[in-house]
Amino acid sequence: MAINWSEFLAVASLHLLAVISPGPDFAVTTRYSMSFGRQVGRWVALGIGCGILIHVTYSVLGVALLIHRHEWLYGVLLWVGAGYFAWLGGQAIQAQPKIGEPPQHTREYHQLKPGQAFRIGFLTNALNVKATLFFMALFTTVIQPTTLTTVKISYGLYMALVTAIWFVLLSTLITWQPFYQRLWHYSHWVDRGMGVLLLVLAVKLVADGVAVIMDMVSAVAVVY
């Protein structure tokens, strides 16, 4: 399996810039790490990393182009993603102040099962339609059509691994004990802030979906 290293470096650089930029993955990891502890945050991070594999799979199979060509399908995906982000944001924005003293070991403070935390992270990434656009652009402009499928898959596995590692590190830093102890009594404001961010993203996705539908209606009106 011959890897084009210049292509790989381009993929790795663009992916790193995308993964460290604030977005729903960042908001969800921060919120669940602060509210439920380090272990839950890490499971969310692993879910986010595995969510990358969904985008890689349909990009390799060419489904991303299908989504791009059929605007109604893209609009539906925008609204599905908006609904999920709105649900997460609505939960986060209702966060209440913590009672009592902060736990001495954040890794032991958790109220969500690993499977639940993993599913939250997985769906957050998998339903992020902006990630769809990123991977569609990546697999159609940066990665050459002549690149072997096995090489494309290896790129995808690399991006999933790096994504998981990044958000595991984020969860670990957020729950670093001296920092966590200081923020414990204010963590509900962190939750609410992340909730607002998710709700803003949801509203933007809804607006984008409406714009897509309006473009389709205008195109039909021109034809008839």
Instruction: Render pLDDT for 121-167 as a digit per residue (tens, 0 to 9).
Output: 999 999 887 787 788 778 777 787 678 888 888 999 999 999 999 99
Give the CA angle between residues 16, 159, 147 to the nearest 5°.
Answer: 110
How many structural domains are present in the chain?
Answer: 1
- List the alpha helices (DSSP H) in 95-186: 114-126, 129-137, 149-174, 177-183
Q: What is the pTM of this model?
A: 0.72
Mean pLDDT is lowest, of 3-12, 48-57, 114-123, for: 3-12
Tally Cβ neighbours within 10 Å of residue 99.
Answer: 6
User: What is the separation of C-alpha 29 from the centre of its chain, rounded to a whole number of angstroms?
Assistant: 9
Cα 74 from Cα 94, distance rounded (Å): 31
171-193 pLDDT, tens digit per residue, is 998 888 776 766 666 666 767 77
Q: What tens digit of pLDDT does each residue of 47-96 get?
A: 999 999 999 988 888 765 666 666 676 677 677 767 767 876 777 677 66
Structural domain including 168 reads 5-223
